[in-house]
Every structure is written in C-alpha cells, then in structure tokens.
Structure 1
Amino acid sequence: MIREIIDINPKTWLKPFQKTSIFYLLKMGLFYHGLGVILMYAGSFFATNIISDYEIPQFPVSITLAVSSGLLEESIFFGMPYYMTGNPLILLGSGIIWSASHLFSSSVFSVEALAYGGFLLTIPHIFFSIRTWISKKGWFAIVFHSAWNFSFLILYCMLGLRQCSIVNDMYDVINLIMAISAGVIVYLAYQNKKRYLNRFLYLIPVGIIFVSSAILFSDYVL
C-alpha cells in the first residue's frame, strides 16, 4: 500500500512506477482514469451552465475507431517520443498536444462546441502514459488505452447514449491502417534498442502513414 501512496502523489507523476506488475499497473490506470472521468463530468457540467447555448459535442465513434485510436495515439504521442528521447518532459509536451487536440474532436472550432469534457478526461491519462512508457511497459499503455476506449464506448452504447457500429466509414479503416503502421514503427524502435536494425525498415510504415494522411487531408479539403 505504501507504493500506491507514493505513486498517487503528484510529485511522482513524471517518474517510473514503484512496481510494474500487470495488476499494479491496472490499479494505477484505473486511478488516473477514474480521476479523468470526474474531471470530464465536472468540466461538462460547468461548460453547460456557464457557456450559453453550449451542447456537449456528439460525433460517431465506431468500435474500430475506438480500439485503433488507442494504438495510434499511444504510438505517435508517447511511444515514438519515448524511444527518440527517453525524456519524460518531452513526453509531457507531446501528451499536452494530444490532450489539447481532443478539444476539437467534433471538428467545430467554436467556444460553444469545444469538447471540454473530453479534453479534461485525457489530462490524467497523460501522466499514466508517461509513467507507463518510462517504466518500460509501453505495451501495457497501448492495451489499456484501447481497452478503456472500447469499454467506455460499449457502456455508452448500452446506456443508449451512442449508436454502436463496427465500422462507420472509410476514415475508420484508414485510422486502423495508420495505427498498425505507427505500432510497427514503435516496435522497430523497441527492437533497435536491443540490436541494430536497418533504418530502411521504417520507410514502409512511414510511407503508409504519409499516404493515409494525404488521403484523409484530401477528403477533408474536398
């Protein structure tokens, strides 16, 4: 119990966890995400009562998108910076960018339409991911992130708050392809820490991400 007390102390939130067993990491994940849920509902409550005409953004999220986003986001915003620098402050910076992007998840850039709740939900997750990656358990951060997204979506679907589907559109498929490619890059970086790998191996997943991003951007512009 002493380890848990130390790890929930904000002074340690940029340091590795005291223990790295699966059960211990699960407890820490639930702590951080429980805190995130509290912040989310508090933020949504204040937003709806302070901002006139504010409505909590609603947008379609498929099971494929929810699960693949865990892999994609962890790989790009935490895994890659970790293997490139190993510096928790760099991960904090990339995590802040990731968290802030959730404000605009509805793609509507208006004060009355920003996803304040979603943004606040992600803040504690930043520290959980940082600590999990620097504890050399990045795979757990990916699995937990995807499982959390899946569980949250299924719960909302069961409560009738969202419509559940396996795949909504081509965006979900492209997101999955990008997620797998990003995961491959992180895996290659992990293997490169143990033995030298030919850097040309990175070209394939990087190229796939570049092409996929171009397709998404062209569809958005058009």
Structure 2
Amino acid sequence: MSNYRKFCYWTDFRGLEKAKEEFGGRGIPLGGEDRIPCRVLRSSSEAGFVAPQAWNGFCKRRTSWQRKSKMAEKFLFVAGSPLSLPGFENPIVIEESAFVPPRLPTSDEIFALTRSEEYRKRRPAEWDKPDPYEEDFYKRWFGRNRTNESFDFGKMLLSHSANHANFIDPKFFVAIDGAPVPYSISDSIHVCSSCLEFFNILGEGWPLKYVVPCIGAVQFARLPADRYLKVITDRREGTEALF
C-alpha cells in the first residue's frame, strides 16, 4: 500500500469512451468490473471502470444506495493517475492516511445514529433485508478473525447502518479549519459497503472524510483492514487547506 492513490470519476458512456482512449494511448490496459465495484481499487490495477450493473451484483443489497442515487446508471472510472480531459477536472481522490479517530461511539450512540431523519429518508428499502447467505459470510469471517468475541449479526447490522448514517448526518467527526470531517465509526467487520463512501455515493457533501475499508474491500480490493483511507472530494478554490 506504499504511496497508494486512486483518482475516481463518475461519467456517462461517452465520457468513459474518452477515458478509455486516453489510457489506451498510454498503453495502459483497461479492465471492466460488472459484479464487485470495489475491485477497481486494487493497488495492482492501473486503470479500470465499474459498469452500472456491478451495483446489482455480489453486494446487491449492500450497494442498493447507489441504485437510488444520482449516480445510478453512470459509469465509474478509476485510475492510479489523473485524467487530463475536459469534464474530468475534479476527481475523488483516495489516499493512505495515518488518521486515528479521537473516539468511537458507544452502543447507545450507535443506535442514536440510526435514528437520524436524514439517514432514514435516504435509506433504500432493500437495505434492511439481508439475505441468509450474508449472515453465513460474516459469521465465517468473524469465526476466523474474532475468536475471543461472540457473533451477533443484529449488532453488526446496526453498526453498518450507523456508519452510513454518520456520513449522511455526521455526529462523529473532526474539524479541520472549521469544516467537519466525518470518519468511519468502527473497524472493518463492523462497517459495510465502504465503496459508498469511497466513491461519494454517501458523504458526497464533505470535502474530506476518513473511511475504513469494509470486509468486502479487504477481501476483494485487498485494502488494509481497520485502516483509515483519506477521501478527498473537492479541490475547488478555498478548500486547499483541508488537504
């Protein structure tokens, strides 16, 4: 993960073709992802794109937020270097960080986060309907990596919801130059679908945020577990001090 950095762009099909042309001219092969969006974040991938159908793939319920967002039906282009094309001036930039949260929420505070009106208004109907296989997936992972803790799927799902809520209606954040910078409220097993925060589907209003990769991103994108990555979502004039 040394010097890890990704530049991410939402675009339509025409924009994707332009991006493909630019990277093709550099001799960089472009891989498409149509099932697991976070795989484009692998450090080994120089450039790739996520097709709209990927958000209805392996993580269908967990990525249902995307299908309800303004990003629905758009393509996502991700590369290790920036594009120099009109319309691609303001990428979402994902970088390593040494961030350590000042504190994490208590059980009562986790529950309170999920009562946010803004969170409940934006929450897709599918979100609260996990498939049985999901519990098996988390239980197996938990058994291998949390041998000293008992598995509680309901508690885990509540934490997943609270984490998204904190990027929609932040209660746990640091302030940098007076601006709120929200952060993930737990470790990798207790957050979910971190791609939503990485790619600005949730938390799109914050110029800077700190995001812990979920277990899917750890497994499929090979991102470091329990480590915060910096997500820079605005490089317009007046925001430089944040970065």
Question: Which TM-score tier does this pair reach, normalised by the shorter chain?
Answer: under 0.3
- Give the TM-score normalised by structure 2: 0.22
Larger relative contact order (Cα-Cα within 8 Å, sequence gap ≥ 6): 1
TM-score (norm 1): 0.24
Structure in which a larger fraction of residues adopt helix: 1
Structure with the higher strand share, 1 or 2: 2
